[in-house]
Structure 1
Amino acid sequence: MRAMTSSPVAALVVVLTLGAVLLVSGAAKLRDRRATQDAFIALRVPAVVPAGPSAAALPWVEIALAVLLLVTPARFSWAPAAVVLLLMLAYTALIARALTFDEPVTCSCFGSIGRHEVGPQTLGRNVLLSALAALVLWYAVDGGSAPGAMGELGAAGWWALLATASAVAVALLVAAPPSAVSSARSSASEVEVLDYERQPIPYGVLTHLNGNSATLAEAASTQARVLFFLNTHCGSCLRIAEKVDGWADRLDPAVGILVVYTDESAAAGQVGHRPDLATWEPELNAQRVLGLSGTPAAVLLGADGLLAGGPVTGEDNILELVEAVLEEVEAAGAPVEQ
C-alpha cells in the first residue's frame, strides 16, 4: 500500500470515488424514501434491522460517511473507512442472497436513480465497491487520509486530479440512461397506442386457490377483468394489495378483479385482500405473454377478447389505469360507490 501513500493523486481518486458513490446514493435515497423502505422489503432484510427507522436513517449515514472519508485526519481515518467497508460488505451479502430468491427482486439501491432488477451486474458492482472500500481502509491503516493527500498535491497533481474528474464526468454523461421523464412519456405513449390499437388477449393460464384453472380470455369471458401482478416481497405491491378490495367493490359488477402471484404458496399467503381474488400463474406464463418484466403490474382484459388497457408496470401507472377504469365505469352509468 506504500504505492498509494506515495501517490496522492491515486489515493484521492479512490477515496473521492467511494465518497461520491455514498453521497449520490444518500441524496437519491432522501429524494425517494418510500423506495428505500421498499428495498428493505424486497431484499428481505432480517427483522433485527427494522425497515422503517433504518430506511429513514440510511441516507444520512451514507452522506455522513462520505463527508468523514474526505475530512477525517490520518490519525482517525481508519474509523470511517472501516464502517464503509462493513456497509459495502452488508450490501453485497444482501444482493448475493437476493439472487437465490425464486421471485425476481427489484432494488432501489441508489434511491430514485437506481431502481432496477437485481442481477449478476448488481452483485459485480457491489463487489467492486467493497474492493474499493477495502483499499481505502488499507490506505488509512497505512497512515493515509484524504486531507493528507490533498496537502501533498502539487500543481501537477491537481491538474491530474481535475483531468480524471473531467473524464469521469464525460463518461457518465455519455453512458447516462434516458431520463425518468422520457421513460414516463414513452410508457404513456404505449398506453395510448393500446387504447387505439387493441390487441387480442394472449394465451395464458391462471390457477385459483381451489384448483380451477382458466385462460386469460376465459377469465374475461363474462366480464372485463383487471389483473394485478403482485409480489409478496415488494413494498409497492403490498400497497396495491391493500387497495384491491375497495376497487373490487367499486367496480362490481361491471369489471372484475383478479390478483396474480408467481406461485401457489405466494397466492395462499397473500395479505391485504380477499383470498377469493388470489390466483397464481404457472411458470410466470401470463407475465411472459404480456411482456411484463417486473411487479407490480396490471392489465385490463376486455370482455370482447381484446386488451382494453395496459399492460402497465409501477405503482403510479397502476393507480392511473385504475382511475381511468373507474371513470369509464362511472361514465357508463354503473353504480360506483364513493
Structure 2
Amino acid sequence: MKLLMLGGTEFVGRAITEDALARGWEVTVFHRGHHAPPPGTRALHGDRTAPGGLDALAAGEWDLVVDTWSGAPTAVRDSARLLAGRAGRYGYVSSRSVYAYPAPAGLTEDGPLVEGSADAGSTAYAEDKRGGEIAAVDAFGDRALLVRAGLILGPYENVGRLPWWLNRTARGGPTLAPGRPGLPLQYIDVRDLAHWTLDAAEAGRGGPYDLVSPAGHATMGALLEACAAVTGAAAEFHWIDQERIAEAGVEPWTELPIWLPEGELHDYMFGGDVSEALAAGLKCRPVEETVADTWAWLQSIGGTAPHRPDRPDKGISAEREAALLGL
C-alpha cells in the first residue's frame, strides 16, 4: 500500500504514519517542515493555507490519503479535489463533536449533525470538522472514510490532557480527584485509532464511524490509579464532588483535563454507541497500557509534552487546587 499522510509528524498523524511503516507500506508525509517525520518516510513540504501550498502534490498516485486537518474546511476541499483522481481512498479523521449538542447517551452515526460547509473558512471546531467531512465526501464519495474520533489519548499527545495528569500525579502529595472514582470514561488510544483506520481503509470501508472505546472501558479512578502506579508517586487522591468543584468555579475539561461532571455533557462526550466500529474490528488496549506508554514517552522527551498553539493550556493551578482541598 502507498499512503499519503497529510501531516504525519505529531500525535494522530504520527501514530498513523508509524503504523503504516510497521506494515511495510510506502509512506509519503506532506507537511510544513516544522517537525521531522518518522524515519523511513518520504517527505514533501507545503503549507495548505498558502497560495500554491499544494504544489508538491501536483504529481503522484497513492492507494490511500489520510487527513487530520481541523482548521478551515477549504483546506480539506482543495486537497481532496486535487487528489480524487490519483488516490484510491480518503480517510478523514473527524470528531464526534460533529454531532449536534445536546445529544443523549447511546448516540449512533445516524445522529443529528451540526451545520458545515466545504467552502467555509475556519469558524468553530465542530463546524470545521463537519465541513471537512463534507469536503472529503464531495470529492471521494463512498471512497471517503470518516473517522469520528472521541477523546484521544496516548503517546505524542500535544493537547495536554493525560500528560498533565501524569505530571501532577508524579509530584505526589494531596491530589484533587474530580467527581467519583467510578465515573465511566470513553476515549481512544491514538495507536488503536491509527491501527483501525488503516485496517478499515485497506478493507475498503467508507462512510462515518464513531471511533472511541466502549462506554465505561475505563473509569476516572482507574485512570488516576494507573497514573500513580507508573509514576511511582505517593499521590493521595482526595475525591471532590462535582457540586463543590462547580461552586469553586473550576472548569471541567480544561482545569481538570479529561473529566466532565455527570449530566448532559458527560452523556454527550462519554456515552457514544460504537457498535459499528467494534463490528469493523476495533480493539482497545487497557487504560493501564495507554498511561504507561504515555509516561514512558514523556520521560524520553524530558517530561514536558509539546503543545499545540491553537489549544488552551490545561490544568488547575496549585493555588486553586489547594483551596479546594482545604490546604
Q: TM-score, normalised by structure 2?
A: 0.26
State the structure with more CA Rg: 1
TM-score by length of 1: 0.25
Larger % of strand: which?
Answer: 2
